[in-house]
């Protein structure tokens, strides 16, 4: 007879460590890591309850540039991206900053690449 408990413990015992690097916006002074840490602490849901992280999920700010989220329960990396986008929208930074996956368990906040098209717009007006 196969063991039923071994398959159920595999999924729940998985340990996940996700890192969000916000060094670029923080260097320009537009991003506050402490506010972001508090936002994640208040919004992350564990077993359907927001803010009740307990010992299953830990949020640690590493220095001035990174936040590490460690989880002992099933936790989606995509959920962190979703919460980060919500924080950027709330802060008014969504039009300037994006979140990019750099490795399997890392995200990085980067500025959008905005090219200056002023010289092209001026030449179009002269032709008309």
* Strand 66-71 with 97-103, pairing: unpaired
Is 9 domain-assigned?
no
pTM flag (> 0.75): yes
Segment 62-85, tens digit of pLDDT:
988 999 999 999 889 999 999 999
Is 80 domain-assigned?
yes
Is 7 domain-assigned?
no
Q: Residues 6 or more apart from 19 whose CB is under 8 A from it?
A: 62, 66, 67, 68, 69, 105, 106, 107
33 closest CA partner among 79, 81, 65, 68: 65
- DSSP label at 72? S
Q: pLDDT at position 9, please?
A: 47
Q: Residues 6 or more apart from 112 whose CB is under 8 A from it?
A: 95, 96, 97, 98
Query: Which pLDDT band holds residue 120 (cuts at 50, 70, 90)?
Result: low
CATH code, domain carrying 105: 3.30.1360.210
Q: pLDDT at position 1, please?
A: 55
79: its two tokens: 């959920």
Segment 16-39, tens digit of pLDDT:
999 999 999 999 999 999 999 999
Distance CA 70, CA 57 (A): 6
Domain count, the chain: 1
Tell me which residue range forms the domain holding 123.
Answer: 14-127
């Amino acid at each position: 007879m196969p063991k039923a408990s071994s398959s159920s413990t595999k999924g729940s015992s998985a340990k996940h460590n996700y890192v969000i690097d916000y060094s670029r916006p923080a260097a320009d002074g537009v991003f506050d890591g402490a506010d972001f840490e508090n936002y994640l602490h208040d919004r992350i849901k564990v077993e359907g309850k927001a803010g009740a992280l307990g010992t299953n999920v830990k949020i640690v700010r590493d220095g001035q540039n990174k936040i590490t989220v460690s989880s002992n329960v099933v936790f989606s990396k995509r959920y962190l991206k979703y919460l980060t986008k919500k924080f950027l929208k709330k802060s008014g930074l969504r039009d300037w900053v994006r979140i990019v996956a750099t490795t399997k368990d890392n995200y990085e906040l980067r500025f959008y690449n905005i090219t200056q098209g002023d010289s092209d717009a001026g030449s179009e007006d002269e032709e008309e």
